[in-house]
Structure formats: C-alpha cells, structure tokens
C-alpha cells in the first residue's frame, strides 16, 4: 500500500498510509478503536473503494479489475463471526468456493471439502452440521476451512480469536501457525489479542494518527515511545503476554 487514503465523506480514516506485507509472514495489524483496521481490510478486499493511493497485490495494482479477480481466487478470508451460510451445512460452506471458481466433478469437490475440514482439526461428522449446531470455536475452524478451500497464497483474518476462551484461542493460534508453515501462507491478521501477537506473529503494524505509526517485530514495539504503542505493549496485558512466552 502506498499513499493510501480512505474517507467517509469529510471523515478521513487513513491518510498517506504505506504498508508492505512480506511473503510468508504472519503480520498483526493493531490499533485503537476508530483507527481503521476493518476499513483497511475492506479496502484491500475491494469492499470499499480507496479515496487515494494505490494497493498492489501479487505485483498488480488492484485498480485493475483482472487483478481484483486474481486476488479473489488467491486469497482466503475469515471474518470475525465466521460469516458462514446459516442454511448450508459445514461441508456445503466449504464447497462454495470450489463451485464459484473452478469446475470439478461434484464427488471430487466433496472429497476436497472433507480434506479441508480435517486440516483445521474438525471431526468428519462436523461436515454434516449447520453453523448453529457448532460451538464458537468450531464455527471459527469451519470458517477457516472455507478460507483455505482453494489453497490461497494470502489469508486475511479478522479478529480470529475474538470470543474464544484462552485454551481455544491458544489452540487456534497454533492452527494458524501450522497452516502457514504447511501451506506457505502469508497471513494478514487484524487482532487485539496480545497472546496471539506474542505467540505467532512475525511483525506488528500499528495504525494510529491515520497511518501506520510503526511496524516491526514485537521487540521493537516494546521499545517504542509512541503513547498508544507504549500503553498497549507495556500495560498489564502486554506484560502478562510477554511473560507467557518467556
């Protein structure tokens, strides 16, 4: 992203925002309420048109329609609530990307969907259930199975551990890291979970003052003089998360 500007009328959310995401990394995007984390994600995904600047993914400017189509095929998204189709079973949800983007025999698509369900740690029996019949943690994993259905290069996660208990959140962190390693994913993660940041993230990008105020490994963030960054990483939760990893 270069010189990115987003706004809603006269309310400017981002101004002159620059950000590079490196292949193979897990990047955490953090920031205070109203800093525009979700707006940034939606802008990258094409759900909101940028008001200025440029976004380039896979070497192509997303202002080009063909580049946006390529991003849709090569990226997976897990929204905060899973965003599963409530009227479909889990396996039908995982099949949906195949049916939209590729032409394969139905039996082969079903086998691929079962494979993805197993990869995220769900029992095969979960495939026949509807989202309402699953626990919160299982819905997250079902959403992840759909997100990785087409073997994406780039994975977007929106607050993936929100609403999970500490054990479930730690287990999901391990899943994200294992999938990154096994599939060669690049992960762009919006989160406020300090345990997640310390456990699996390679770098952290901090949104503040309408742009990326700082980016780097967690150790660099701990030394920052920026007031919000110092409070976020140096407060009680930050200290507790750091002690867990020591």
Residue 24, domain member (yes or no): yes
pTM across the whole model: 0.93
Q: How many structural domains does the chain have?
A: 1
Q: Convert the chain into a string of H (helix), E (strand) and C (coil).
A: CEEEEEEECCEEEEEEECCCCCCCCEEEEEECCCCCHHHHHHHHCCCCCCCEEECEECCEECCCHHHHHHHHHHEEEECCCCCCCCCCCHHHHHHHHHHHHCCCCHHHHHHHHHHHHHHCCCCHHHHHCCHHHCCHHHHHHHHHHHHCCCCCCEEEEECCCCCCCHHHHHHHHHHHHHHHHHHCCEEEEECCCHHHHHHHCCEEEEEECCEEEEEECHHHHHCCCCHHHHHHHHCHHHHHHHHHHC
Domain assignment present for 235: yes
Of residues 155 and 246, the one with the higher pLDDT is 155
Query: Euclidean distance between the first and final Cα of the chain, in Å?
Result: 34
CB 186 within 8 A of CB 155: yes
Task: Place 235 in a pLDDT band, splitting at 50, 70 and 90.
Answer: confident
Q: Given strand 26-31, what is the order of strands in its sheet?
A: 75-78, 154-158, 186-190, 26-31, 203-208, 211-216
C-alpha 140/C-alpha 130 separation (Å) is 13
Give the pLDDT band (50/70/90) at residue 90: very high
pLDDT digits (tens, 9 = 90+) for 157-185: 999 999 899 999 999 999 999 999 999 99
pLDDT per residue over 10-57, tens digit each?
Answer: 999 999 999 999 999 999 999 998 899 999 999 999 889 999 999 999
The pLDDT of residue 101 is 85
- Full domain range(s) for residue 190: 1-58+156-163+171-179+186-246
Asked if residue 74 belongs to a domain, the reply is no
Residue 26 lies in a domain: yes
Does any domain span residue 233? yes
**Domain with 193 in it: what CATH number?**
3.40.50.300
The mean pLDDT value for 221-225 works out to 93
CA dist 139 to 98, 143, 152, Å?
A: 19, 6, 20
Q: What is the pLDDT of residue 83?
A: 78
Per-residue pLDDT, 37: 95
What is the mean pLDDT of the segment spanning 86-91? 93
pLDDT, one tens digit per residue, over 125-164 is: 999 999 999 998 999 999 999 999 999 999 999 999 998 9
Specify if 149 maps to a domain: no
* Residue 204 pLDDT: 97
In a domain, 50, yes or no: yes
Token pair of 73, please?
């095929």
In a domain, 137, yes or no: no
pLDDT-based confidence at 82, cuts 50/70/90? low
Is a pLDDT exceeding 90 seen at residue 196?
A: yes
């Amino acid at each position: 992203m270069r010189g990115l500007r987003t706004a809603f009328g006269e309310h400017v959310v981002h101004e002159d925002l620059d950000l590079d995401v490196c292949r193979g990394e897990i990047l955490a995007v953090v920031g205070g309420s109203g800093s525009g984390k979700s707006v940034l994600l939606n802008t990258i995904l094409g759900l909101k048109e940028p008001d200025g600047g440029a976004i380039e993914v896979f070497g192509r400017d997303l202002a080009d329609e063909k580049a946006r189509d390529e991003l849709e095929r090569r990226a997976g998204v897990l929204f905060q609530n899973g965003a599963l189709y409530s009227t479909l079973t889990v396996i039908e949800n995982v099949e949906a990307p195949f049916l939209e983007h590729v032409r394969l025999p139905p039996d082969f698509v079903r086998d691929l969907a079962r494979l993805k369900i197993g990869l995220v740690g769900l029992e095969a029996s979960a495939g026949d259930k509807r989202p309402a019949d699953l626990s919160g943690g299982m819905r997250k994993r079902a959403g992840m199975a759909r997100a990785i259905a087409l073997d994406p290069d780039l994975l977007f996660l929106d607050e993936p551990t929100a609403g999970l208990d500490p054990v479930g959140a730690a287990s999901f962190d391990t899943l994200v890291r294992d999938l990154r390693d096994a599939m060669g994913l690049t992960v762009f993660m919006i989160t406020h979970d300090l345990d997640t940041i310390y456990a699996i993230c390679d770098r952290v990008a901090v949104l503040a003052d309408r742009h990326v105020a700082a980016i780097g490994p967690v150790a660099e963030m701990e030394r920052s003089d920026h007031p919000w960054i110092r409070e976020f990483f140096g407060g009680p939760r930050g200290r507790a998360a750091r002690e867990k990893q020591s």
